[in-house]
């Protein structure tokens, strides 16, 4: 599978759960992120091409923001090597300009 990403993703070293804002359920733990998309590791597969309203609590506040809110579409879902977890790739489809700025500052700090 070819990598079609235009933005470099940054691996995350700490556990950062990505939460479905509508249900309060953890979608998965953030594995990597860019200013255009991200990947999570989860025990619960999600269908591709589904749209979610999500939140991501930052390890520390940036410009007074401790949680990012955004809309994202799942692009794919693949089983991990152990077949007990799943990798899900998302791209951002809706994020406020302020949260986008905070995301870029977060990426620079990781």
Domain boundaries, the chain: 10-109
* pLDDT for 1 beyond 60: no
Nearest to residue 72, comparing CAs of 57, 91, 87, 58? Answer: 91
Q: Could you report the per-residue pLDDT of 45-87, keeping only the tens digit for each? A: 999 999 999 999 999 999 999 999 999 999 999 999 988 999 9
Q: pLDDT above 70 covers what percent of the chain? A: 94
pTM for this structure?
Answer: 0.88
> What integer pLDDT is reported at residue 5 of this predicted model?
47
Q: Which CATH superfamily is domain 10-109 in?
A: predicted glycosyltransferase like domains (2.40.10.220)
């Amino acid at each position: 599978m070819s990598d079609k990403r235009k933005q470099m993703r940054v691996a995350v070293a700490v556990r950062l759960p990505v939460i479905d804002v509508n249900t309060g359920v953890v979608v998965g733990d953030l594995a990597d992120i860019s200013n255009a998309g991200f990947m999570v590791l989860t025990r619960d597969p999600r269908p591709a091409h589904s749209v979610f309203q999500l939140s991501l609590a930052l390890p520390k506040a940036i410009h007074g923001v401790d949680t990012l809110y955004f809309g994202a579409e799942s692009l794919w879902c693949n089983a991990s090597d152990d077949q007990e977890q799943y990798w899900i790739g998302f791209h951002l489809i809706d994020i406020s300009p302020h949260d986008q700025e905070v995301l870029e500052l977060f990426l620079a700090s990781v």
